[in-house]
Chains A and B, each alone.
Chain A
Amino acid sequence: MANILELEHISKSFDGELVLDDLNLEIKENTFMTLLGPSGCGKTTTLRIIGGFTTPDTGRVLFEGRDITNLPPNKRHLNTVFQKYALFPHMNVGENIAYGLKIGGKSQSYIDSKIDYALKLVNMDGFKKRDVTQLSGGQQQRIAIARAIVNEPKVLLLDEPLGALDLKLRQDMQYELIRLKNELGITFIYVTHDQEEALTMSDTIVVMNQGYIQQMGSPENIYNEPENAFVATFIGDSNIIDSVMVRDELVRICGVNFPCVDTGFGVNKPVDVVIRPEDVVLDEAGKGQLDGVVTHLIFKGVHYEMEVMAGGFEWLVQSTVMQPVGKEVSLRVDPFNIQIMNKPESEDEEAVVVDV
């Protein structure tokens, strides 16, 4: 698949504060790519640079190989779904959707058929004459999407479009967006700080922090093999433990040697170990690898969440089997579920650009 968008050496600072630092990103055609990170990580700035609302200080933006860095937004063949929808309050639903087509000088019959098509696509059939200010948040969201896609952009930019919706609606809209993307067959670039949203919808996730790309990969890849502590903590819950790599395929965690599958870290090298809470198996005391005592217990619906004090570390454990507080247990971790990461030597290194 060809690259539809390329960002080359993009840097941007606001009021002397560096928001993006030499960012490089290639976006393949027809993918659902998510820029994920905490607020202030530079994800929205990246999206705005692609949309043409912000000019980068340095670097180039290529669209289908063509440099569009200095092209104003109205000349770019991509459309944006804004965070707060940004529907024109003085136009009704149909007029909002028609706006881009009118400017493009399309015929009235073409526009009418496009409006009907787009309203059907977003399940808002029959809303053409409605006043946009009378619509609910979810409905406004759908109209904002319809308004963008009738222009047949090759890339659709979505800036935290579900942020203002309540949980149930947000989950529904996630499935809608996946369906839309598949029906339209175009590239979606989606910005969010919600890791669950990113994991659910994306083909590719780009985790960002402090203006750097921390990791880029498939949802499974990001979740199972976080490359640094930031990604590990940001995506899902995890136990990150100071440990020592004894030798290849053996790591000492909390004073106990655990077999693992990673190699090449050297001998007796300090490392960070990431273990997901659902990968920690609880056994009867003495039967596992590391003994401990349950200190907290919360029922979470699908599973129980427990904290276990073992080897001087408070382990977060998720299991469908309940162990009462105060019970002595033993921890066991499958070698494949131990993820080893190099310790960062400085904060800068933690934020270093990683190659995929």
Chain B
Amino acid sequence: MSKKNKWLSAPYLGFILCGTVIPLLAILYFALVDKNGSFTLSNLASVAEPVHLKALGLSLLLAFATTVICLLLAFPLGLLLRKSGGKKGFVIFLLILPMWMNFLLRTIAWKILLQKTGVINTILGALGLKSLDIINTPTAVVLGMVYDFLPFMILPIYNVMIKIDNSLIEAAYDLGASQARVIKDVLLPLSMPGIISGITMTFVPSMTTFAISEILGGGNISLIGNIIEGEFLRGGSRNVGSGLSMVMMVFILISMALLNKFDKNGEGTVV
């Protein structure tokens, strides 16, 4: 309203300072010192330990798989929902309703479903089919992550797609494009902003989760999130945990940068 109102944001600046800036500096500090407070790079270097390296690699792999599966499921769904012309409000309602059940509980429900004696195997057994033995494997973890983060892939894609003007699609048909070409030339590039934010919202949490891998991995699957959690809360070294957190942040930043680069390249490749 006027320049005099700037002071109204002062409490918020306080929260940014104490809740974002100082904590990030704190973790940077702890990452760079040892237990006695003297400077060291060993916390950062500890990522090279085989256990950590393996966890980081597995995290990247599972997060990548989760993101790809979510994208492959969500994009066609977006196309179908867009075409079906269903009420936008109702579709979104159906997508966010499950989130009102605690996400840990929903993940645990998968454990119940996938158990050796679980619901799915009971049904498979009754049908005389081979039992599905994926609980406590990376496959189950990926399934859980796909389940938990799929809405975050669908929502942005659907939100962007539903806004694409129908006349653009008609124009492409009018100019001779087949359905496949309309999707490739018009719908896909125009959905890119939604796809990018969907990838971000899926990749980062699945790269850094520790709860899903703990629940569906039964303690066998160690992701980088589990390692960090262990360092902080189960008698590990907070300095090592801080170091690993910094390294993980770097990996996320690199992934995001690659994604943005891909996006920019993607824009020009249509014609």
Classify A-B as touching or not with yes or no (CB < 8 A). Answer: yes
Most buried by A among B170, B175, B271: B175
Beta-carbon contact of B175 and A86 below 8 Å: no
Residues 156-195 of chain B, each 1 if its beta carbon lies under 8 Å from chain A, else 0:
0000000001011011111111100100011001100000
Beta-carbon contact of A74 and B176 below 8 Å: yes
User: A74, A84, A90, A104: which contacts B165 (Cβ < 8 A)?
Assistant: A84
Beta-carbon contact of A88 and B171 below 8 Å: yes
Using a Cβ cutoff of 8 Å, how many contacts connect chains A and B? 68
- List chain B residues, Cβ under 8 A from A53: 170, 173
Residues 90-105 of chain A, each 1 if its beta carbon lies under 8 Å from chain B, else 0:
1100010011101110
B270 interface residue per 8 A CB criterion:
yes
Bound CA span A90–B269, Å:
10
If A91-B271, A98-B271, A99-B185 touch, whether A86 touches B170 (CB-CB below 8 Å) is: yes
- List chain B residues, Cβ under 8 A from A88: 168, 171-172, 185-186
Most buried by A among B174, B177, B181, B267: B174
Beta-carbon contact of A84 and B167 below 8 Å: yes
Beta-carbon contact of A73 and B181 below 8 Å: no
Bound CA span A73–B179, Å:
11
Most buried by A among B170, B178, B267: B170
User: A72, A91, A151: which contacts B173 (Cβ < 8 A)?
Assistant: A72
- List chain B residues, Cβ under 8 A from A311: none
Closest to B192 in A: A90
Closest to B171 in A: A86
Bound CA span A87–B185, Å:
13
Beta-carbon contact of B178 and A74 below 8 Å: yes
- List chain A residues, Cβ under 8 A from B178: 74
Stretch in A2-10, A14-22, A75-83, A242-250 touching the partner: A75-83
A89 interface residue per 8 A CB criterion:
yes
If A91-B270, A91-B271 touch, whether A79 touches B175 (CB-CB below 8 Å) is: yes
Beta-carbon contact of B176 and A151 below 8 Å: yes
A226 interface residue per 8 A CB criterion:
no
User: B174, B181, B185, B190: which contacts A80 (Cβ < 8 A)?
Assistant: B174
Bound CA span A98–B189, Å:
17
CB distance from B170 to the nearest CB of A (A): 5
Beta-carbon contact of B171 and A103 below 8 Å: no
A147 interface residue per 8 A CB criterion:
yes
CB distance from B1 to the nearest CB of A (A): 32
CB distance from A216 to the nearest CB of B (A): 26
Closest to A89 in B: B190
CB distance from B228 to the nearest CB of A (A): 40
Beta-carbon contact of B175 and A100 below 8 Å: yes
A211 interface residue per 8 A CB criterion:
no
A37 interface residue per 8 A CB criterion:
no
Bound CA span A91–B181, Å:
15
If A90-B189, A90-B190, A99-B185 touch, whether A79 touches B174 (CB-CB below 8 Å) is: yes
- List chain A residues, Cβ under 8 A from B170: 51, 53, 73, 80, 82, 86
If A83-B167, A86-B167 touch, whether A99 touches B174 (CB-CB below 8 Å) is: no
Beta-carbon contact of A51 and B270 below 8 Å: no
Interface residues of B in 126-162 (CB under 8 A from A): none
Bound CA span A122–B176, Å:
22
Beta-carbon contact of B267 and A103 below 8 Å: no
Bound CA span A59–B119, Å:
56
Bound CA span A73–B271, Å:
21
Bound CA span A88–B176, Å:
15
Closest to A105 in B: B176
Beta-carbon contact of B176 and A103 below 8 Å: yes
> With contacts A95-B270, A103-B176, A148-B174 known, what are 13 further pairs, Cβ within 8 A?
A53-B170, A73-B174, A74-B174, A79-B174, A79-B175, A86-B167, A89-B190, A90-B190, A90-B267, A100-B175, A103-B177, A103-B181, A104-B176
Residues of B within 8 A of A (CB): 165, 167-168, 170-178, 181, 185-186, 189-190, 267, 270-271
28 A-B Cβ contacts within 8 A? A51-B170, A52-B173, A53-B170, A74-B174, A74-B175, A79-B174, A82-B167, A82-B171, A84-B165, A84-B167, A86-B165, A86-B167, A86-B168, A88-B172, A88-B186, A89-B168, A90-B189, A91-B270, A95-B270, A95-B271, A98-B271, A102-B271, A103-B176, A103-B177, A103-B181, A148-B174, A148-B175, A151-B176
Closest 7 CB pairs of A and B: A100-B175, A86-B167, A95-B271, A86-B171, A73-B173, A103-B176, A90-B189
